[in-house]
Chain A
Amino acid sequence: MTAVLDATEVPAARTGHDTVPLPRLLAAELRWIFRRPRTLAVLGLLALIPVVIGIGLTLVDENAASGGGPDDGGGALLASAVNNAFVLPIAAIVMSLALLLPLASAMAGADAIAGETSHGTLRGWLIAPVGRGRLLAVKAFGVATVSVVSVLAMCLTGVVTGLIINGTDSLFTLSGTTLSFGGALARILLVAGWVVLQLWAVGAVALAISSWTEHPMLVVASVLAGDIVFTILGFLTSLDWLHPFLLTQNWSVAPAEVLQDPMGTQMLGEGALRAACYIVIGLSLAYARLSTRDG
């Protein structure tokens, strides 16, 4: 009976395969993510941040900025970014890591599963069929890509803004040495990679929550609440024992290690390990739920 159908206007059937090539699914997912007006708006706003910071810093009185900056990492970084094309993108990314970048990952994670469930479209994938494990892989890939693109967009506008405002001879480390353009770029990309890893951890947690609910708002709210609570817990010295388990621990100070010469790696390494653990746990929870939930 299929032969009858094949003979009509329908294109040649792809028989003998019960699964779709993975790249095709990934491409479909990316098309969906990057055609979404919301995604583009978030990316655009994130890319604007380094520009705004760069312009803002040129207007600030140099002495006041470097003298009386607040004590936390972000503020100190910001003060060092004045007249420094190397520090500007890093400062912008690190400051956004406090809230805005996790927000982008959380939104992507929320749309990926909870959003699809609420629109009734997850069922469409399951009936196609896309296996549940593959589905999670595709979704994780999408969230990971959003994180990468967010950070790279900030890097790009940050570097360009820094160079336009301060010129290529303004690539100083905090130790006072000057970096070559290539060396500076490598260090900026190192920070970017590290921040992406942290965002993947956030995204993995978002996917885990996302697979338990059909309300995308709940996912975003939970992730941001978690971010804030973790940050507060990190300030409490009486909870020292808990700090190694907090994803947000040292988020604002670890990237400053690359600003030193020679470069430190201790906090960066620790943070990367922590993020990797969160990714494994988050994706495992998401898989456990997704593979058993009713479609």
Chain B
Amino acid sequence: MTTTAVESGADISSEVSAPAVPLAARTRGLRKVYGSTVAVDHVDLDIPQGAVVGMLGPNGSGKTTTIRMLLGLVRPTEGEVELLGRPMPDAAAHALPDVGALVEGPGFHPFLSGRDNLLRFAAAEPRLTSAGIPLAVDSALERVGLTGAARRRYKGYSLGMKQRLGLASALLVPRKMVVLDEPTNGLDPAGTREIRRIVAELHAEGVTVLVSSHLLAEVEATCTHVAVLQAGNVVAQGELAELLESGNAALLVRTPDAEQAVEVLRENRIGARLTPDGVRADLTATEAPRVLQVLVGAGVAVHEATRARTGLEDLFARLTESSVDGSSEGTE
């Protein structure tokens, strides 16, 4: 990866981890080696309480490995993990009852109905009373829209229904934190919207949510925070809005007098270039009102001015694509 990416990542994370927001989970110096493959290295992840954190990264960047260590399923080779203030995996028994998770796809028995599968897992949930199990299962099924198919065998479920059932098992109990690994895998657009709705509901309830995904639009639509993983390293993390701002800020001005506008802006030492229907003014050294003032003062007809928002896609590409060649190793 290029040095610029590393630097920008470091800058951003130091910027936003400074405020004393209580953390729902954090990792320090996390490293996991499988044989001779380094799956995850030097991962310092901060998951603020109440945030919806999107974990982004190409396949094989270490998202799932990190999540598995966070949940105490895998013991890290080096480094420490804290989940809800408890060290993992040693205190898993005390942290996990308040954590719901869907990891590496839904896992259920094909010969049991969706409801029976959930009843089985609900029996193992410490936060449920024995009498409360059926009600908890039914409301979780309703929440993910599976009530109609609850009594059908899991064997006959579509990929999307399986995914929903996995989500339901994460939501059996009111959680403090919910971890969803690729929750929209196999879902149609309507299903994806529903996941988004559920994540938003959890967020409104104050639940901390960690979502891993390689679908950028997904993360951009639902998350307050982002962590970008690349080849087992965190290359950027922080609040989504700040990360997007930190990209190349610019103002898009729609004008018929584009050439004149570029000229005027450059005379005033504002970087600018032509776009199909106007100009793009660079905002790194100045501010939007100043740009407009210059343009209007010079008699340029300004039809519309919009802040160019760096899409998450651009950011992601900037952070990860520079080292695509080196990203083939590492497991997820």
Q: Is B82 among interface residues, defined by CB-CB distance under 8 A?
A: no
Q: CB-CB < 8 A to A131: which residues of B? A: 93
Q: Is the CB of B99 within 8 A of A127?
A: yes
CA distance A125 to B121 in the complex (A): 7
Q: Which of B72, B106, B205 contacts A4 (CB 8 A)?
A: B205
Known: A4-B205, A32-B112, A128-B126. A120 touches B73 (CB 8 A): no
Q: Is the CB of A127 within 8 A of B71?
A: yes
Q: CB-CB < 8 A to A12: which residues of B? A: 129, 132
Q: CB-CB < 8 A to B169: which residues of A? A: 124
Q: CB-CB < 8 A to A123: which residues of B? A: 73, 103-104, 107
Q: Is the CB of B93 within 8 A of A129?
A: yes
Interface centre among A14, A123, A126, A128 (most CB of B within 10 A): A128
B121 closest partner in A (C-beta): A124
Known: A13-B174, A129-B97, A294-B68. A19 touches B107 (CB 8 A): no
Q: Would you give the shortest CB distance from B136 to chain A, in whole angstroms?
A: 6
A14 closest partner in B (C-beta): B129
Q: Is the CB of B120 within 8 A of A128?
A: no
Q: Is A5 among interface residues, defined by CB-CB distance under 8 A?
A: yes
B128 closest partner in A (C-beta): A14
Q: Would you give the shortest CB distance from A211 to chain B, in whole angstroms?
A: 15
Query: For the side of the interface on B, what is the size category?
Result: 35 or more
Q: CB-CB < 8 A to A125: which residues of B? A: 121, 124
Known: A13-B127, A128-B126. A119 touches B108 (CB 8 A): yes
Main SS of chain B's interface residues? Answer: loop
Q: Is the CB of B74 within 8 A of A19?
A: no
Q: Is the CB of B107 within 8 A of A11?
A: no
Q: CB-CB < 8 A to A237: which residues of B? A: none
CA distance A20 to B97 in the complex (A): 10
A32 closest partner in B (C-beta): B120
CA distance A5 to B174 in the complex (A): 6
Q: Is B173 among interface residues, defined by CB-CB distance under 8 A?
A: yes
CA distance A156 to B109 in the complex (A): 31
Q: Would you give the shortest CB distance from A120 to chain B, in whole angstroms?
A: 2
CA distance A125 to B176 in the complex (A): 19
Q: Which of B72, B120, B207 contacts A28 (CB 8 A)?
A: B120
Interface string of B194-226 (1 = CB under 8 A from A): 000000000001110000000000000000000
Q: Would you give the shortest CB distance from B99 to chain A, in whole angstroms?
A: 7
Tell me the B105-121 residues at the A interface (CB within 8 Å). 105-112, 116, 119-121
Q: Is the CB of B109 within 8 A of A11?
A: no
Q: Would you give the shortest CB distance from A111 to chain B, in whole angstroms?
A: 10
Q: Is the CB of A27 within 8 A of B123?
A: yes
Known: A4-B205, A5-B174, A10-B174. A128 touches B96 (CB 8 A): yes
Q: Would you give the shortest CB distance from B236 to chain A, in whole angstroms?
A: 28
Q: CB-CB < 8 A to A36: which residues of B? A: 111
Q: Would you give the shortest CB distance from B164 to chain A, in whole angstroms?
A: 15
Q: CB-CB < 8 A to B97: which residues of A? A: 18, 128-129
Q: CB-CB < 8 A to B135: which residues of A? A: 9-11
B32 closest partner in A (C-beta): A294
List 6 additional A-B contacts (Cβ < 8 Å) besides A129-B96, A295-B73: A4-B206, A10-B135, A12-B132, A13-B173, A14-B129, A127-B71
B interface with A by C-beta (< 8 Å): 50, 68, 71-75, 92-94, 96-97, 99, 101, 103-112, 116, 119-121, 123-132, 135-136, 139, 169, 173-174, 176, 205-207
